[in-house]
Amino acid sequence: MSSSLSRVEAMTLTVATVNVNGIRAAAKQRSETNLGILPWLEQTRADVVLMQEVRANQKQTEAALAPAIEAGWHLAQAEASAKGRAGVGILSRLPLTHVVTGFGHAEEQAGLTASPGAREFDDSGRYIEARVNASFGPVTVASLYLPSGAADTEKQDEKYRFLDSFGHFMQQRAASTVDGKPENMIIGGDWNICHRRADLKNWRTNRTKSGFLPDERAFMDSILGVWPDSASQVGDETDAGRTGNPAGGVGDFFGAVDYTPSPLAQQRLREGAPENPQWFDVVRRINPEADGPYSWWTYRGQAFDTDAGWRLDLHVVTAGMLERAQEADNAWVDRVDSYDLRWSDHSPVIVEYA
């Protein structure tokens, strides 16, 4: 994917999403050649940067990013009640309005009823949204840090509960309007789920790992549909292999410890993947047949050098924004050239909207 195409500044909105893996660490100079996120912010073409895993309070983030803020970047942030955990933020060259933290609050702000269970995540530092005025009109930009989960721990229960509530939120929000028109919305973030086999290099050996479990992937089906496939990959012949998927199938909720499928989960299972989804994975829509492009590589081993990555960082958008992304046809992972230049274990995923 190329970042070299020309950009008409006045007519486009360019948005990046990146898990910074701790903003204070990301802002530090690590070597003579690795100067951290600050030079990247100076050079990036992005108008908006959606950040996850900020792991700092507002004062600490402002201190870490002081040169960028002095240069004109606007900051909005939702920190987690648990210190040093999670946290999401929005950096923007454009003024930010209508800032809301927590997707339960965001539903109420949009005139909707808060999803059952949403309040559990109000103070978890996992969702923030704001509005920017692009040349083509208002756009709601949201930063999401979906729980990573961990099979056979309570973290996986938390992840399944989040999916239940957040799926309902997305279903409701798809019908939202701004000034009487369908809302233009981008939910960028670390979704912590690979939807399809092309989204991670070593999918066979990760079928029992959180991030590629059947019910997680089925959740993505329920939001995005099965495109570009004709049917869901979850549980198909390739997925099962000769001996079956070791994580079972949809509805088994593999890895849960004390989770009972909620009515929202049961409804999702009954309805399955929509034929006409209201939300779209921009990078996959632009690159339907590509492996990856991956955006996260573990620091362990040679994963970065061998490109043994996962595509966890997504732009999920409404129909109007998909059309604008397809018109610009310019989306890429801003991957550094070598391991020693990384300031996070994730790379920014950038999309231009015309």
Binding residues: 19, 53, 190, 192, 345-346
SS (HEC) of 119-141: HHHCCCCCEEEEEEEECCEEEEE
What letters, b where the CB count within 10 A reaches 16 and e where it falls short, cover 71-100?
Answer: eebbbbbbbbeeeeebbbbbbbbbebeeeb
Told to judge if 168 belongs to the known catalytic residues of this protein, a careful annotator would answer no
Told to judge if 299 belongs to the known catalytic residues of this protein, a careful annotator would answer no
Half-sphere exposure of 59 (CA within 13 A, CB side): 0
Catalytic residue among 190, 221, 281, 334: 190
Residue 110, C-beta contacts closer than 8 angstroms, at least 6 positions apart: 172, 173, 176, 183
Instruction: Provide the annotated binding site for Mg(2+).
Output: 19, 53, 190, 192, 345-346
Q: What is the dihedral of CA 18, 162, 166, 290, to 10 degrees?
A: 50
What the block records as the tokens of 48 is 């908006």
Told to judge if 190 belongs to the known catalytic residues of this protein, a careful annotator would answer yes
Catalytic residue among 145, 259, 294, 353: 145
Give me the sheet containing 349-353, strands edge to edge.
Answer: 74-78, 88-92, 48-52, 13-19, 349-353, 331-333
- Residues with catalytic function: 145, 190, 346
